[in-house]
Amino acid sequence: MAWCSSGAISCSRGCGNVISASFAFLSINATATVLHVLVTGAGGFLGQYIVEQLIARGDKVRALVRRKAPALEALGVECVHGDVQELADVKRACRGVEVVFHAAAVAGIWGPWKHYYNTNVLGTKNVISGCHHGGVTRLVFTSSPSVTFAGRDQCGVDESAPYPKRWLAHYPHSKALAEQMVLKANGEHHLLTCAFRPHLIWGPRDQHLIPRLLERARAGQLRQVGDGKNLIDAVYVENAAAAHLLAADVLRPDSAACGKAYFITNGEPVNCWQWINEILQLAGMAPVQRRISLPAAYAAGAVMEAVWTLLGRTDEPQMTRFLVAQLGTSHYFDIASAKRDLAYEPKISTEEGMRRLSAWLRRAPAGG
């Protein structure tokens, strides 16, 4: 969905200083040795959990950050100041590192192409170059399922699904270009790569998907798109982070994961609008009442995009074709490849994740 960030480039507020006890399910890495890793986007929602899980199992973590990150420093993370758009910064951050988790990205559904291209595409190109320059042997890239989304239903599709011929937003287009570069780089300069497509990352400390959903509900801007029967996949944030660590451990020259992309979900498709209403209920809010048909919403999104473009507006329209398609179609995925190649199993169920989300929402400041 359009509210979801798969690794925001800036640090989300509310970074946790305490490593969750739930990380106990993580196993020591395959080599039983300490890894020296770099995490880009370490201050983002997913990035924080990746960092915490790495530290919980004893790995040495470095983060490339654009500003001071006291929460990361409190965890013992070595913070290198810089930007993925600057090759010199990335090269400096990659020195002496064995594994890079590249989770930094600009997410969203609106804005100029250059905004997405410079970070998501050129930034990823710099990360690959930094890996080559620093002798990094493993690169795990956080991609997005939207790289295969053309605005139609995706029911149980696997990684053979092609990239679309047209794009409804700059974010999936830029992530697809970046993903292709990462996969193509597999085997170059002794670098092994893979890409993850975590779908709708959610859970405590989210500062994008859940807060934006609640904000729209409070403003009376939420409408059910379509008949309300569409099924979607999602992934609890700790499961998504754990999958990244699994990849770092299995990436070896003889691994089936080398040069491949994987869908990552909880493996439990849910009814989109029932799930949204459950989240609203956890926040003490009423369910969505107003409805709009998928064709009408799509047409409204196209009109809004045209008007925003004509006026040169940079703020996000209330409705776009991409957002409508995400809210009104089914999109769930076959994760058999991740289970087979990575031994991935979502340890935290949707039911348990919702309990944890409920507890966090009760503690979170008003407004999410």
- What is the 8-class DSSP label of residue 25? G
Question: How would residue 34 be classed by pLDDT, with cut points 50, 70 and 90?
Answer: confident
pLDDT digits (tens, 9 = 90+) for 77-113: 999 999 999 999 999 999 999 999 999 999 988 999 9
Domain of 42, CATH number, reads: 3.40.50.720
Q: Does residue 81 belong to any structural domain of this protein?
A: yes
* Residue 2, phi then psi, degrees to nearest 5: -70, -20
- Domain interval for residue 77: 24-206+232-267+333-349
Q: Does residue 361 belong to any structural domain of this protein?
A: no
Q: Is residue 282 predicted with pLDDT exceeding 60?
A: yes
Q: What are 69's two structure tokens?
A: 């990150």
Q: Is residue 170 predicted with pLDDT exceeding 90?
A: yes
Distances from the Cα of 368 to the Cαs of 3, 48, 60, 149, 359, in angstroms? 14, 18, 32, 29, 13
Q: Does residue 42 belong to any structural domain of this protein?
A: yes
Domain count, the chain: 1
Please report the sign of the dihedral spanned by the C-alpha atoms of residue 281, residue 287, residue 292, residue 294. Answer: positive
Containing 324, the helix (H) or strand (E) segment is helix 321-328
pLDDT digits (tens, 9 = 90+) for 243-263: 999 999 999 999 999 999 999
Q: What are 1's two structure tokens?
A: 């969905």
Amino acid found at 196: F
Q: Does residue 360 belong to any structural domain of this protein?
A: no
Say if residues 175 and 108 touch (Cβ distance below 8 Å).
no
The fraction of the chain above a pLDDT of 90, given in percent, is 83
Amino acid found at 228: G
Q: Does residue 314 belong to any structural domain of this protein?
A: no
Q: Exposed/middle/buried for 4, CB within 10 Å: 0-12, 13-18, 19+?
A: buried
Which residue numbers are catalytic? 171
Q: What are 306's two structure tokens?
A: 């045209």
Q: Is residue 362 predicted with pLDDT exceeding 80?
A: yes
Q: Does residue 289 belong to any structural domain of this protein?
A: no
Amino acid found at 161: A
